[in-house]
Chain A
Amino acid sequence: MASTDSKNERRRRTELLQFYGAGGKEDTPYDINSKHFNHDMYVQKTIKESSLKQLLEHESSLVSEIQSLDSDCQTLVYDHYDKFIAAADIVRKMKEGSVKMEAQISRLQENMARIIASSTSVTSALQERRGHLSRLLGVHGTLRKLEFLFHLPQKIDECIAEKNFAEGVASYVETAEVVHRYCHLSSFSAIHEDCEAAVGRLNQALKEQLALKEVSARHLTECVDLLLQLGEPAEGLCDDFLAHARTKLENDLSNLTKLAETAGGLGSEEEEGTEQGASEETSKAEETKEGLGREEIGDDSIRDGANLDILEFVDVCHETFVGNLWLVISSYKEMFLRSPEEGGSGSSNVAMEKLRVFVADLVEQYVAVVGVRVASEPDVGHYGQLTTALDKFHRRLHAITQLLPNTDFGNVALSLVLEAGSARCQSSLAMLKSGLASSLGDIRHALVAPRHPTQDGTESTHRQLNEHLTRLVASTAASIKDKVTALQAFTQPKHTFAVKAEFRRKFCRDLVREGVVVAFFLHITDTLLQFCHKKDKDPVLLLVLSRMCLDLHTSTVHYLLSHCDEQLQLEEKTGLTPLHSITDGMREAGQKLLNHYVHTQGSSISQMLRRSVELKDWLGCGEPRSVRRVMRTVLEEISTMDTQVGALYEEGNRRDRSSDSSRRTFHSVSASRGGGGGRSGWSTYTPSQLDNSLVANLNKLWSERIEIFAPVEFTRVSILTGIVKISLKTLLESVRLRTFSRFGLQQVQVDAHYLRTYLWSYVADEHVLNVLLDEVVTSASVRCCDPELMEQRVVEFICEQN
C-alpha cells in the first residue's frame, strides 16, 4: 500500500511538474519550496554567498513569511469547524420532520377504504333498473326497423324522384336480406313485392342514367356500382360500361386530334398570318360550344390551340384522355374484377380480356394522335421541352401498363419516343449538312473577294488562310458538338425512357452516333470529294479543303467521336463504325484534293508555258538579251502558290543535294565543262558536240524514271515539287513540237538557266529539276537548224541582269 501511495504521489508530482514547467529546473536542495530542501545546505549556501546585510534582510523576510503562513493556517482550521457544526444541525431537523409524516399517511388509508365500500353498495342498487332499460331500447330498435321496412318502397320512389340513387340502393341493400328471409310471412310478402317493384323502377332509372351521354366518368362509375349492388349481371354491365366509356374517350381523342392538327397546321401557316387561323379557331369553338358542357376542357384547349406548346398539349392529354382512361380502368377493375377468387375466375378473365382489348384499342389511337402532334413539332434546336413532354407521355402510358397486367403500352410509347428521336436526328443531320454547305460557301466567297489586295502581303495571306481553315474546322466541330449536346436531352437520366437499356442502345448507337455524327463525317468526305470534280473551283479552296481533311483526319474526328462516345456513355464499340474507317476516308479525300490542287495549278502554269512556246516565233527571233517575260510570271505564280501552300502545310523533307554548296559545285562543273559522264548532261555540250544526244540517252538509262503526275505528300515541298514537275514536263513537250533558230535555242537555254537558278528552292529533289531542264535544252537543240549554245557565263550574266 505504501509503495502504491508513494507511486501515486510521484506520478502526481511529475504531472504537476510538467504543468508548471519551470518548477522542475529549480528542484534543488536550495529551493525553499522544494521537497528536496535541505536547510543545512541552504543555510551554508546563503551564508557563503551573501553579505551580512543581505543575510539580515533575508532573515527578516523569512520571519515575516513564516508569520503569514501561521495566520493562514489558523483561519483554515476555524472555517472547517464552522461548517461541521452547521451540518450537524441540519441532520437533527430532518429527524423531527419524518415522525410527523407517518401519522398523516395512516389516516389517508382509512378514508380510502370507506369510499370503496359506499361505491359498491350504490352499484348493486342500480343493477335491476339498467337491465329493464336495455330491453326497452331493443324493442324500440326493432319497431324502428319494421317501420323502415313498411316505408321502403315509398322511400325508393322518393329517391328515384330526387335522383338520389345512392341512398335508395343503400337502403335496399341493407334491408334486402331481412325481407328475403321473412317473405313467407304474409305481411312481409306484401312489403317484399312492393320493394321488388320499387327496385325494378330504380334499376330502370339507373339504366336510363347510364344511357345518357353527358354523364361524367365518376357518375357513370357510381351508377354501375349501384347496379352491381342491385345484382345486375356483370357481363352486360361491363359491355355497357365500356361502350359508354368509349364514346366519351373517343370524344376526348377527337378533341385532341383537332388540337394536334391545329398545331400542325399552325406550323405551316405561321407565315400566312394568324388572322385566318384565329377566325378558324373561333368558328370551331362556336361549333363545339353548341355541343355538350362536358367538353369544356376540349373547347378551351381548342381556343388556346394557337399558343399551345407540346408540353401543354401533353398536359391537356393527361387531363382529359389519360385521366379519364385511368378512371375507367380503375373503376372497372374495382367493380368487375374485385374478387376473382370468389366470383369465378372464368367470368373475370373474360371481363379482363374485354378491358384489355378496349384499352389497347384506345391507346393505339391515342399514340397515333400524339404521334401526329410530335411530328408537327418544329425543330427549334433544343429539345428540353420536347423530351420532357415525351417523358410525361411515356411515364403515363407506363403507369397504365402497370395498372393493367399483361399489357405493354410502355413499349408503344417508347417506339414513339424513338421515332421522335430519329426524326430529330435526321433534322440535325440535315442542319449540319446545310451548315457545312453554307460555311463552305462563305469560305469560297471570302477566298474570292479579298485576295487581290493582300496577294502581295505574305503575312496577311498566311493569316487569312489559316483563319479560314481554323474557322471552318472549328465551326464544323462546334456544330457537331452542339447537335450532340442538344440530342443529349433525350438521354437525360431524369427521363424514365432514357434509363431503358434498349432505348439507350438504339438511340445512342444507331441514331446519334451512326445516324448523325458518323453520317455527317461521311457526308463531309463526300462533299469535299465533289470539289475534285467541279470545274469552277478555286485552287486555293482545294488547298484549304485538303488541309481541312488532314486536320479532321489527324485530330478532330478522333476528338469528336470520343467526345460523342463519352457524352452518350457508349462503352461497347462492337458493331459501330470504327474510327479509322472514317479517318482513312478523310485522308484519302485530303490526298485526292491535294492531288487535284497540284494538277490544277500545274496545268494552269502548263497552259501559260505551252501557249508561250506555241505563239513565239522561234525561227525569227533575235539574239536573247533577257529572260522571257513569261518565265518571270511563272516564277511569280509559283512563289504565290508557295506562300499559299506554306500557310497551310509544313515544310517537309528535301534531299541534301539542294544545299547551297552543292549548287556551287554544279556550276563549277558546268563552267569547266569537264566530266562527260556527269549527271547533268546538257552542261557537257560544247557547241561542236551537239550531236551527242547519245550521252543524254545514256544518262537517262541510269537515272530513274520521273513520275510526273505522282501523288504528293502533305508537305509544302512535295506539293511544290509536284507543280514544278508538271510545268516543266509541259515545257519540254511543247519545245519538242517547235523548230528553233540558233537564237531561239539560246533563248531556251537562258530561260532554262533562269528557271534552274530560282526554282531549286521549291523542289524536294534538285535532281528532278536538272534532268527536266537538261531535257528541255537538249530537245530544243535537236529541233534547231543551227544548233549552237551560248557561253555559260553569258547565260549567267543575262540571268543576273533580271
Chain B
Amino acid sequence: MLSFFCKRGSGEQVEKVCSLDGASAGDPQAPGSPVPGLGSQMWSVVWAPEDDARLVTLVDNHLYYWDVQAAGKSAKVVGEVTVEGRGSVSLGSGRWYPHQQGSQIAATHGSSVRAWDLRSMKSSWCVEGAHMQLVRDLDFNPNMQYYLATCGDDCKTKFWDIRNTEQPLKELSDHSHWVWSVRYNASYDQLVLTCSSDQRVILSNLPSIASQPFGTMVDQEESKEEKEKAEGAEEGVIQTYDDHEDSVYAVEWSAADFWTFASLSYDGRLVINKVPRSVKYKQFM
C-alpha cells in the first residue's frame, strides 16, 4: 500500500492526496509486507517531470503507469508493462526521460537499462549488459538529449549515448565498491555526483561529454588548444568526500542552488556539501 500526501498553504497541514492500493484494497499490514495487487517489493516511484497527475511505480518486474487525480478522487492504472526474463529479475530504479515532454521512462533491470514510450507502452530502447552486474541507478543528462549515466555493482559509472548502446562514451572506476547513485548537475552537466557503499561520495568533472555552454561553440576551433589546456587538466575527480562512516546510498543536487548537494548514508547521516569554490568560479570564466 502506498499513500501520497501533500503540504498546503502555510505548511501546518499535511493532507493525504490519495493512496494506491491496486484494484482491491487489502487490510493494512506490517510495512513492507506484500500488498495484494502491488506485489511484494515496491522499488521505485517516480513522478512525471511536467505533469503532477502522472506517476510510475516499479514493482517486481512490472511497471505501472498511474493517473492520479488530486484530493484522492481517483488513482487508476492507465498502463502496465511486464518485463519477461529468465528468473525473477525485478526492476530497480526508474527515471523519467526529461526531454520530449517526458514521453519516456527508463528503468534498471538486472544488468540492463530499459526504456518505454508511455504513449504506446512499448519498449523504445535498451542498453543490454550495461554493467557486468546489477545496475543500481541511472540519470539522464538534463542538457544533452541522448546522454545517459548509469552506475552499478561492478564499481563503475558509465556514460552512454542511447542512440548507440554498443559502447559506453566513458567509464569511471573511481569507487572501490558498488556505486548506488549517480546524478547530473541540473545546470552544469559536466558536474556528476556518485555515491558508493565504499563510504565515499565523488564529485567528477567531465567536460568531454558535457553540453557546450553557450558561446564556446563559436570560437571552438580557434581556441581549441587553450580550451583543452583549461579543461582537459581537470577532467576526472574533483573531490572525494569521505565524511560518511557507512555505505552512502543516495546523493542529490539541491533544487534551489546549483552548487549544493546532499548525501545520505546508512548510519542515518545526511551530509550537505558545496562544490569547491575554485571549480565554481571556473564555470563562470
Contact = CB atoms under 8 A, between A and B. Distances in A.
B32 interface: yes
Interface in B259-274: 266-267
B198 to A, nearest CB: 6
A785 B177 CA distance: 28
A708 B177 contact: yes
B159 interface: no
B245 A697 contact: yes
B30 A708 contact: no
B199 interface: yes
A708 B198 contact: yes
Contacts of A424: none
Interface string B191-214: 000000111000000000000000
Nearest to B31: A739
A18 B199 CA distance: 106
A700 B266 CA distance: 13
A162 interface: no
B151 interface: no
B133 interface: yes
A708 B176 contact: yes
A619 B197 contact: no
Interface in A659-716: 693, 697, 700-701, 705, 707-710
A606 B33 CA distance: 26
B5 to A, nearest CB: 22
Interface string B9-43: 00000000000000000000011110000000000
A739 B33 CA distance: 9
A606 B31 CA distance: 28
Contacts of A739: 31-32
Contacts of B242: 705
B246 A733 contact: no
Interface in B163-185: 176-178
B75 to A, nearest CB: 25
Contact of A619 (B33, B133, B154, B199): B33
A733 B245 contact: no
A701 B266 contact: no
> Which of A693, A709, A779 neighbours the largest number of chain B CB atoms within 10 Å of its CB?
A709
Interface in A58-102: none
B247 interface: yes
B155 interface: yes
Contact of A733 (B154, B197, B267): B197
A603 interface: yes
Contacts of B177: 708-709, 729
Main secondary structure of the interface of A (DSSP, over half): helix
A709 B197 CA distance: 11
A729 B197 contact: yes
A208 B77 CA distance: 113
Contacts of A619: 30, 32-33
Interface string B214-252: 000000000000000000000000000010011100000
Interface string A142-171: 000000000000000000000000000000
Nearest to A786: B30
A707 B267 CA distance: 18
B155 A709 contact: yes
B152 to A, nearest CB: 11
Contact of A707 (B132, B176, B178): B176
A736 interface: yes
A701 B269 CA distance: 14
Contact of B267 (A603, A615, A697): A697
Residue picked from B88, B242, B247, most chain A C-beta under 10 Å:
B247
A312 B153 CA distance: 68
A705 B177 CA distance: 12
A715 B37 CA distance: 53
A733 B198 CA distance: 11
Nearest to A709: B176
Contacts, number: 40
Contact of B30 (A606, A709, A729, A785): A785
A701 B243 CA distance: 11
Contact of A700 (B155, B176, B246): B246
Contacts of A615: 88
Nearest to B129: A535
Given A707-B176, A709-B155, A709-B176, A603 B133 contact: yes
B242 to A, nearest CB: 8
A708 B197 CA distance: 10
Nearest to A729: B177
A528 B133 CA distance: 23
Contacts of A700: 245-246
Nearest to B247: A733
Nearest to B40: A617
A603 B154 CA distance: 9
A700 B197 CA distance: 15
B245 A701 contact: yes
Nearest to B245: A700
Q: Which of A733, A736, A739, A785 has the most CB of B within 10 A?
A: A733
Contacts of A697: 245-246, 267
Contacts of A779: 266
Interface in A463-493: none
Interface string B100-119: 00000000000000000000
Nearest to B34: A619
Contacts of A707: 176, 198
A733 B197 CA distance: 8
A703 B3 CA distance: 41
B153 to A, nearest CB: 8
B266 A705 contact: no
Contacts of B32: 619, 739
Nearest to B173: A709
Contact of B178 (A693, A705, A710, A733): A733
A607 B267 CA distance: 25
A615 B132 CA distance: 21
A615 B41 CA distance: 11
Nearest to A600: B132
A45 to B, nearest CB: 118
Nearest to A599: B154
A436 B153 CA distance: 34
Interface in A362-376: none
Contacts of B198: 707-708
Nearest to A782: B266
Contacts of A785: 30
Interface in B40-97: 88
Contacts of B199: 705
A700 B265 CA distance: 14
B128 to A, nearest CB: 13
A744 to B, nearest CB: 12
Contacts of B31: 739
Interface string A605-627: 01100000001000100000000
A709 B246 CA distance: 16
Nearest to A698: B245
Nearest to B175: A709
B176 A710 contact: yes
Interface of B: 30-33, 88, 132-133, 153-155, 176-178, 197-199, 242, 245-247, 266-267
Which 4 residue pairs are nearest across A and B when measured between Cβ atoms? A739-B32, A708-B177, A709-B176, A700-B245
18 contacts: A603-B132, A603-B133, A603-B153, A603-B154, A607-B133, A615-B88, A693-B267, A697-B245, A697-B246, A697-B267, A705-B242, A708-B176, A708-B177, A733-B178, A736-B247, A736-B266, A779-B266, A785-B30
Interface of A: 603, 606-607, 615, 619, 693, 697, 700-701, 705, 707-710, 729, 733, 736, 739, 779, 785
Given A603-B153, A606-B133, A709-B177, 12 more contacts: A603-B132, A619-B30, A700-B245, A701-B245, A705-B199, A707-B176, A707-B198, A708-B198, A710-B176, A729-B177, A729-B197, A739-B32
